[in-house]
Structure 1
Amino acid sequence: MTLEKRPLALTINGQDIGPIDVPAGMPMIHFLHEYLNLTGTHFGCGQGICHACAVMEKRPDGTLAETRTCIFDAHYFNGKSIVTIEGHATHDAQGRLESLTPVQQAFVEHFAFQCGYCTAGFVAGATVFIDELKRAPIRREHLEAAIETALDAHICRCTGYVRYHEAVRQVALATPGCVTD
């Protein structure tokens, strides 16, 4: 018995991938791990509930969306552009870290993780949230509720929520145009 394979082509972390023949129905999280060795995005619940597997999707209109990779098969992403946790920071030509994104830096400063298993999903969700604020700023008094809503679907089994929220608040307040008085 042979698995049915179909071609897949997409952009991941700014690099064009494929076309590669990938088994039909293979979850994207497995494609990332097994075909590309991008293992920073984690498999959590396998049901799309915990968001540990979330990546950022860059839409054609320039907006960002958070997309779960455990419930969508790899072919759902055909022709799309995504960013995994490995693609957030900038690296030099030799692959050495140059700089973290503001969200990543704030997470480090606030030690906004314990075991780190859910962190990749939180980085994706927080980055999408900051992008949304840049496009549609909110009043300062609504920021806490907006952070809670934006990160509500993310599950941290170590209960690091307070630190994640503090880090996202810091980035939102420090990024011009995200919050109004």
Structure 2
Amino acid sequence: MNDEVFGLMIVPLSLAIPGVIFFIIGCCLHARFSYKKGGIKTYGELVGFRVFHEYYHPVGRKLKYIFGLPDYTDYQYNAQNSRPIFRFLVNGVPVKWHSDWSVADLDKNSIGKEFPIRYFPTRSGFRVILEGPQYEKQRARGQKMAFWIFASIGIGLFALAVFVTVLYFVVTRK
């Protein structure tokens, strides 16, 4: 009897464990994309837009890495899924870095203008975000979407595990 119960309970466990993992991923994304505190406020000059090719060409990205080529392309216009590149000063040293978020309302006419930004030093460079109420709304919407996509998958899998468990006990009740 124990082997039979264990065999039938693997299905709910195989649903519940990924459900919890998806929910934890959603919470981590929520924390990763929250920019409420910290950072260094400054002004940055928009110098162009950067499109990351890892979204489009995963094989090409590996080949570019092997040959030592960068895996992004810089444009003078706001291409689809591109991120703005800002030039700003870090401890008196000019730095050119891309934003974490793509922004739809910047265009070719915005290049050369200064915008209020906030940057966070990281191991691999910086996390740069634009300051302003419209950009905060865009980030909040993206943050909520990232959280709820993963959290809803996790909650759905966990609910399905509970349903399968209840169904098992109802069907096997004598």
TM-score, normalising length from structure 2?
0.21
**Structure whose alpha-carbon radius of gyration is higher:** 2
Structure 1 or 2: more strand by fraction: 2
Structure with higher RCO (Cα < 8 A, 6+ apart): 2
Structure 1-normalised TM-score?
0.21
Query: Which structure: greater helix fraction?
Result: 2
